[in-house]
Structure 1
Amino acid sequence: MGERIPLAIPRKGRPLESVLDLLARRLDVADLADDVITTLRHEKAVTKGSVEPDEPDVYHRLATYSAVDDPMAPEYTLLRDDRAGKPRRIVFDSVTIPLEGVDGVSGGTELVLVGREEPFRALRTHEFALGFDSADLILEEVVDLRSDPLERIADINARIDPANTDVQVVSGLGDTVYHTLMATPDAAPSGEQIDRDFLRDYAGPLCITPRYERLVRAVLGTDSLENVRFQYPDEGVEEERAIAEAGVGVYLTVTGSTARDHGLVLGEQLFPSETVLMENAAEISPEVATVRSLLAGDDTETELEVALS
């Protein structure tokens, strides 16, 4: 009899979709992935008020999505949103995927996808051997802060104190966006590069999202922040607007169009944000190691270059 191997994954958003896309390719579960992605995109639109649901009662929709009579169908749950005026939102909960026919895996082995708000923390507490989460969250939790900057995801493991956690990064999914330094033309003299060197000579406010303070310290390096004062957006103010008011800031960008709409000049891409596969080395069995290798194949373009142990 094979194992039931739990895999911690995000409950919603781009990281969850990236994980499902990977599983669709590796495990031939495209229909399952499409079902979950379509359902959650619809529910996100309902939450934002951009579409009207056929069934206004969220509990009825939840019961419809979660087919309890089918053990292999995805299940969903409600996420309580503490932000003012935000309703509870339907998010991913769990699904079981049989691994019959997968090379090196015993018959009867199943992969159980389990939604978690913070998969990285679930691995840290040894609830899971494997999981996916944003590389950002690892920087926010456990990497050492040093004078020199952390510039690559591949360097994260070297910055993790093994006395702090058994979790290590294994591979990336290539769904990359960037923490980008940006400034107004007034704050950055014409022709001057907006990069880490610019910050070393800069004195003043640096607008960031509060949850990313430790990440920003790690990717800039403490030497670049001697004369910098962190400033946070006021409640209800979008980040790009707040950065424009402060003069200089760091925020996640894909195309940077919103930043430019606020008169900001895009500078150095400080650090790639990417969904990564993680392992808790203390919990790896031979069967789990086989699944890990399956999930960490080399067919994905990624910012990460970490060899499997």
Structure 2
Amino acid sequence: MSQTVPVAVPRKGRPLEAVLERLASVADGDDVSEIADSVTSTLRYEKAITKDSQTADRGPYERLADYSDTDDPEAVEYTLLRDDRDGYPRRLVFDSATVSVGEFDLRLIGREEPFRSLRTHEFALGFDSADLVLEEVVELQPEGVGSLAEINARINPTDTDVAVATGLGDTVYHTLMATPALLDGADLDRAFVADYTGPLCISPRYERLVSAVLGTDATDGIEFVYPTEAAEEEAAIADVGLGVYLTVTGSTARDHGLVLGENLFPSETVLMENTAETGPAAERLKTLLTEPAIETELRVD
């Protein structure tokens, strides 16, 4: 008989897709792959509706009733949340599903920030963006963090029992960007930032993350500034001269005349464990989920 293990997962976007792809890669048969494809296509469609790039012929409650099979407790279910964009439009997101992986039935439970659910000991295992770990618990030190492998060494065990087990390979990077005029022929890397004094444009929520990634020595003398709501991040960085932003191809940055510099840190979905809650079953499951290496589509949600 399979053992049911609850696992916290993101509700939408690139991180959830990376989780579903990883589970499909280790599961026997095509059942998990079919669930992954269905959830991914449904949520991409719902995202398009929320962003007004597609029009629905039914209301959100009708779509929600159609997507969720409430008669089967193990089927995929969705829920309706308020998006945080202007006007707070409603958005359908993932709620739960049960998938069979090896000896386990994984009960995937959607959470807005799974990392925090692990911190409060609701789950032994969960998936979330590595960014949130840096924003929440990684200690700020003079030297910066450059890889996932360095994260656990920067987590004070008296602050949290959560540790990072592995990344899922859906890597986009926090990347340095600057105007050619500001660089004046210099290389755009951590050393440049360490010698720089002035404004650095970042997304508002990333001040602590960028401080952890660059290190407090490099950010000494830097003033963090943020894009206005009406400006694209790359356009705001071009106005300031120097910034850090997520990038896959860098084409938008180049369109704004920016030079792409060092990739500072991978913004990757990670498998996390609460070490105080991890028993033998969770350890076996963690081993199963961390062994394969897969390629995932690079997208910024």
Where on the TM-score scale, by shorter chain, does this alignment land: which range? Answer: over 0.9
- Alignment of 1:225 onto 2:208: no
Task: Write out the 4+ residue segments of structure 1 that deviate beyond 4 Å after TM superposition.
Answer: none
- Pairing partner for 2:157 from 144, 157, 162: 162
Q: Within 2, Cα distance between the matches of 1:205 and 1:98?
A: 50
C-alpha distance 178-54 of structure 1, shift in aligned 2 (>3 A): same
Deviations 1:33-87 (A, max 9, x none): 11100110111111111122131x1111011100112233200001212321341
Equivalent AA in structure 1 for residue 290 of structure 2: A
Gaps of 5+ in 2: 297-301
Amino acid aligned to 1:297: E
Residue 297 (structure 1) aligned to one of 291, 294, 297 = 291
The alignment's C-alpha RMSD in Å is 1.4
Alpha-carbon contact 1:179-1:269 (below 8 Å) kept: yes
Task: Name the aligned partner's letter for residue 47 of structure 1.
Answer: T
Deviations 1:72-104 (A, max 9, x none): 3200001212321341100000001245xx2xx
SS in 1 for 2:97: strand
Report if the CA contact (8 A) 1:47-1:86 is conserved.
no
Partner of 1:113: 108
Alignment check: 8 A CA contact 1:120 1:132 kept? yes
Contact kept? 1:167, 1:280, Cα under 8 Å = yes
Tell me what 1:93 maps to: 95
Partner residue of 2:245 out of 241, 248, 251: 251
Q: Is the 8 A contact 2:143 2:214 kept in 1?
A: yes
Write the distance in 2 (CA, Å) between the matches of 1:172 and 1:23: 13
Mean CA deviation greater in 82-91 or 168-177: 82-91
Amino acid in structure 2 at the alignment position of 1:90: L
Question: Matches of 1:72 and 1:20 in 2, distance apart?
Answer: 16
Q: How does 1:1-309 map to 2 (within 5 A)?
A: 3-27=3-27, 28=29, 29-55=32-58, 57-99=59-101, 102=102, 105=103, 109-190=104-185, 192-300=186-294
Q: TM-score, normalised by structure 1?
A: 0.92
Which one-letter code corresponds to 1:14 in the other structure? R
Farther-moved stretch of structure 1 (219-228 vs 155-164): 219-228
1:149-196 Cα distance to aligned partner (Å, 9 max, x none): 111110100000000000001011100000001101111112x10111
Secondary structure of 2:41's aligned partner? helix
State the secondary structure of the residue aligned to 2:182. coil
Contact 2:6 2:123 in 1 (8 A): yes
1:93 and 1:114 in contact (8 A); partners too: yes
> Is 2:130–2:268's contact at 8 Å kept on the other side of the alignment?
yes
Q: Is the 8 A contact 1:18 1:173 kept in 2?
A: yes
CA distance in 2, matches of 1:265, 1:213: 22
Q: CA deviation at 1:301?
A: 6.3
SS of alignment partner, residue 121 of structure 1: helix
Q: Which moved more, 1:82-91 or 1:215-224?
A: 82-91
Q: Between the two proteins, what is the percent identity of the paired residues?
A: 63
